[in-house]
Amino acid sequence: MKETILQTRYDPGREALKWVALATMTVDHIGSVLYPELEFLRIIGRLAFPIYSYLVVLGMETTRSPKKYIRRLLVFAIISQAPYFMAHRYEPLESLNVFFTLAFGALSLSNPLMLIPALIVSFFLNFDYGPYGIALITTMQLLRRDLKSGIAMTVLFNVLFYFIWDKQVFSLLALPLILAHMKGLLGTEKNTHDSPRYPTWRKYFFYTYYPAHLTALVLIRGYLS
């Protein structure tokens, strides 16, 4: 039986980043949905998107099928749209959730010619994080290929975005964690010939958590109001 990447490689650092991204995203949404007056929750939440952007780059590097990977992101973008607009009190298509940003960012990674169209679409369809989000995903790819240039561009994007939303500059706090993963400080990638270390339920947990936790927050807000 032919072994696959998922069966023979396990990256504990990558798994750690997934949990950090999930936790900080949850804190961010608790702040935006339930306690908007508590700004420190939104500051903590700024770590989430850069880490998710970096994880998309890793996903595109290791997936056996980039098309299926992008398609999966789009499917969960559609699934997540209703919880997203209800949680943030938007009109149904006033803004599109972050899965659309990640999907079009991944598309840009697979084909550089798609970068400009993705930036335009993200602007006019008002993706969560918009063109900044698409650009940051491509910057995470640059970080993997050219460390110094990647760090410089990451800092530049976030400093420029300060004038649109000042709290976003705190997303730079995610950079040390990303660099720690690149240096192997969060755990060394291992080869394993045991059963697959990425079972289906675990892989899809990180996808389904996004619409599920937004739905839960909407219900909690309704109960508290």
Helix (H) or strand (E) holding 58: helix 48-62
As averages over each run of 10 residues, the pLDDT of the chain (225 residues) reads: 47 93 98 96 96 97 94 97 96 95 97 95 96 96 95 90 83 96 82 56 88 97 91
d(CA 145, CA 163): 28
Q: What is the pLDDT of residue 166?
A: 83
**Overall number of domains in the chain:** 1
- For 124, half-sphere exposure in the C-beta direction (CA atoms, 13 angstrom radius) is 6
Q: What is the pLDDT of residue 192?
A: 55
Q: What is the pLDDT of residue 203?
A: 77
Q: What is the pLDDT of residue 159?
A: 86
- The domain of 109 spans 5-224
**Residue 196 φ then ψ, to 5°:** -55, 135
Q: What is the pLDDT of residue 215?
A: 98
